[in-house]
Amino acid sequence: MISRPSKQRSPKIIYVTPSHQFPLGMTMSLARRTALIDFARTCDAYIFEDDHNSEFRYTGPPLPCLQGLDNAGRVIYAGTMSKILYPSLRLGYLLAPEQLVEPMIKIRAVMDQHSPAIDQATLARFLTEGFFLSHIKRMRKLYSDRREFFIKQFNNLLSKYFILEIPEAGLHFVAWLRRKVDLPVITRVCAEIGIRPSPLSSCFIKPELNPALTFGFAAWSRAQIREGLAKFASSLNAKLH
Ligand SMILES: Cc1ncc(COP(=O)(O)O)c(C=O)c1O
């Protein structure tokens, strides 16, 4: 059940990322999904389901998307090609309840008319000729392998300084610093050796959580992961005790 103070106004739309919250990486449980749909129905609100990264889930039970669970036309589902193919393609898609299709087309028309026709046509052929599914399968296997390798290497080399949080889905990890005071040295070492994990604090309006860094693993081969983490660990070992 989702409860809220009765004085608060009811939401008109609820934005969620159930497969993978960015940046912390949680996946929404089935119980929370059904509770959210019930809540939206009670408030007469829409849910905007941003399901980026749903294709890259490595562990945990299979979970239906909110759009699949909803039978009251309350969910707008958004998917993206940014993770599956590449971000600069700038193509994604929406599944909208019938009553929203026309208004959404009108909004899109005044925003920027439409996405590039040639890119869309090429993607359509990629989908209809069966390459899309086999590509996802191949990438899931590749990323799963890199993910396992990254976890093993990171924990072997860097567990003295970080606690690695392991999400069920996605293409990055959050590594929490064991000691807050190490942050300036760790930040300096990253700059010196040319690795660029993002500080978790860059995602916050107020940095209220402990310091952490986010590491992408999907774009790197095993050799690059091994080399990068080994260099990072040896520089930290030289500067921190
Ligand atoms: C929360 C969230 N939604 C969606 C996306 C994908 O956005 P786009 O399709 O605009 O590249 C991202 C990209 O990292 C994201 O972090």
User: Is residue 168, in this structure, part of any structural domain at all?
Assistant: yes
Give yes or no: residues 27 and 73 share one domain.
yes
- Assess whether 146 and 122 both reside in one domain: no
Helix/strand/coil for 152: helix
- In a domain, residue 2? The reply is no
Residue nearest to atom 12 of ligand 1 (CA): 52
pLDDT value, residue 5: 67
Which pLDDT does position 3 carry in this prediction? Answer: 75
Verify that 101 and 138 share a domain, yes or no.
Answer: no
pLDDT of residue 67: 97
Q: H helices of the chain, where? A: 30-43, 66-69, 98-112, 117-128, 131-158, 183-193, 222-239
Do 88 and 57 share a domain, yes or no?
A: yes
**Tokens describing residue 225:** 């992961």
Does 109 share its domain with 124?
yes
Ligand 1 atom 4: residue of nearest CA? 52
Domain with residue 45: its CATH number is: 3.40.640.10
Kindly report, residue by residue over 52-76, the tens digit of the pLDDT.
999 999 998 889 999 999 999 999 9
Same domain, 121 and 168: no
**pLDDT at residue 209 in the model:** 87
Distances (CA, A) of 99 to 72, 75, 123: 12, 11, 27
* pLDDT computed for residue 61 by the predictor: 85
Q: How many domains does the chain have?
A: 2
In a domain, 4, yes or no: no
Q: Which residues are near ligand 1 (CB < 6 Å)? A: 17, 22, 50, 52, 80, 82, 87, 92
- State the Cα–Cα distance between residues 190 and 39, nearest whole angstrom: 44
- pLDDT value at residue 206: 80
- CA dist list (Å): 69 to 10, 32, 34, 38, 194: 22, 12, 7, 10, 45
* Claim to verify: residue 52 and residue 22 sit in the same structural domain: yes
pLDDT at 222: 98
Among the three residues 129, 151, 175, which one is the final residue of a domain in this structure? Answer: 129
Listed residues 106, 129, 152: the one ending a domain: 129
Among candidate residues 112, 129, 146, the one where a domain is terminated: 129
126-142 residue pLDDT tens: 999 999 999 999 999 99
Q: Which domain holds residue 176?
A: 134-239
pLDDT (0 to 100) of residue 109: 95
Domain match, 47 and 66 both = yes
- Does residue 76 lie within any of the structural domains? yes
Measured in Å, residue 157 CA sits from the centre of ligand 1 at 31
Mark whether 97 and 22 lie in a shared domain: yes
Hey, whose CA ends up nearest to atom 5 of ligand 1? 52
Ranges of residues in the chain whose predicted pLDDT is under 50: none
